[in-house]
Amino acid sequence: MESKIFSAFPRSDRKQLSALCLALLEAQKKSWPQLASAQQGLADIQSRLIRGAGYETGVQFNPARKVSAGAAVDAESIKNRPCFLCSGNLPPEQKGILYSKDYLILCNPAPVFAKHFTVAHMQHQPQAVAMSMERLLDLTADLSPEFAVIYNGPACGASAPDHLHFQAIPANSLPLLESFPGHFRIINDAAVKIYCGEGINRAAMVFVGGDKDLLLFQFARLLQAAQKVLSLSDEPMINVLCSSDHGQWRIIIFFRSRHRPDSFYAAGEQRIFISPGAIDMAGLIITPLKLDFDRLDGDMIRDIYREVSLPEETLKYIIEEL
């Protein structure tokens, strides 16, 4: 395990976590050829902005994401593959930052952004948000304001649903984060401000506040309300995107009805290779195919968002229950 640790946080010299992550990235680009080539590949990705349906969506053509976007995430396939987030299975060159003794911050070998990290728990245990939310908030505060932190639910975007992990990405990289609160209506102006998304074709809620315990309390209540309305004992299908600035956390929760739209499973040219996780839901749609990059428009994006999101009516029930 020692050989996998580039550095540990917190440190006695009080060096900032974001600076440590950038140092890790620079070191890994020199010592890990696969990462160096993935980073070079980022120079070839194409992006464009689609305006339509009342909001902006970025689209990114990123051929290297084909493996993770197309990954089989059913229980049988997961059981039969070695877990790529367990420290014993990492490539020999890969190292990470040991975060508060229980997570390892790693450079993402299939990046969407030049600064893109995966934060994997040291133990192989399933993706679960209720028990990991406090660490997600701590990590977000420690990486703020440069980075936002993502959680993808085990059935709606996580490519390793069996291994607890987050991702850290640049905080200024997602249209919906940038335009907040433009598309959100405030529904509770208390110590934790609660907002609901409007006109974005996605079932989204936002919690804003500076008191960690209160945020955790409200987040737990939201999960319970969703479980009750959806008659679930498991975690509701959600993506979470958390950022922090000036001591205030902002948690965006996307409620999902399914992982991939029907068009993902269609045959031939009908197939649209989009497998939405938190990044896509927050307004940057990643596709590994040039065909899809060229043909996506506002109507197609609206349909995909609607198809994978919880219906508006159901979100209303959850808000009433909350």
- The order of strands in the sheet holding 55-61 is 46-52, 55-61, 284-287
Distance of CA 259 to the CA centre of its chain: 13
Q: Report the nearest approach of Zn ion to the CB of residue 85 (Å).
A: 5
Give 23 or 86: the residue with its C-beta nearer to Zn ion: 86
Collect contacts of 128-134 with beta carbons under 8 A, ≥24 apart: 128/154, 128/164, 128/235, 129/153, 129/223, 129/235, 129/238, 129/240, 130/220, 130/223, 130/235, 132/164, 132/166, 133/216, 133/219, 133/220, 133/240, 134/212, 134/216
Give 78 or 194: the residue with its C-beta nearer to Zn ion: 78
Binding site for Zn ion (CB under 5 A): 83, 85-86, 124, 163
Residue at shortest CB range from Zn ion? 83
Q: Report the nearest approach of Zn ion to the CB of residue 233 (Å).
A: 24
Give 60 or 159: the residue with its C-beta nearer to Zn ion: 159
Give 105 or 253: the residue with its C-beta nearer to Zn ion: 105
Q: Report the nearest approach of Zn ion to the CB of residue 319 (Å).
A: 36
Q: Report the nearest approach of Zn ion to the CB of residue 128 (Å).
A: 14
Give 161 or 261: the residue with its C-beta nearer to Zn ion: 161
Q: Report the nearest approach of Zn ion to the CB of residue 163 (Å).
A: 4
Q: Report the nearest approach of Zn ion to the CB of residue 89 (Å).
A: 7
Give 27 or 86: the residue with its C-beta nearer to Zn ion: 86
Torsion of CA 302, 303, 309, 311, to 10 degrees: 100
- The order of strands in the sheet holding 96-99 is 5-9, 96-99, 103-107, 117-121, 165-170, 147-152, 238-245, 248-255, 203-209, 193-197, 184-189
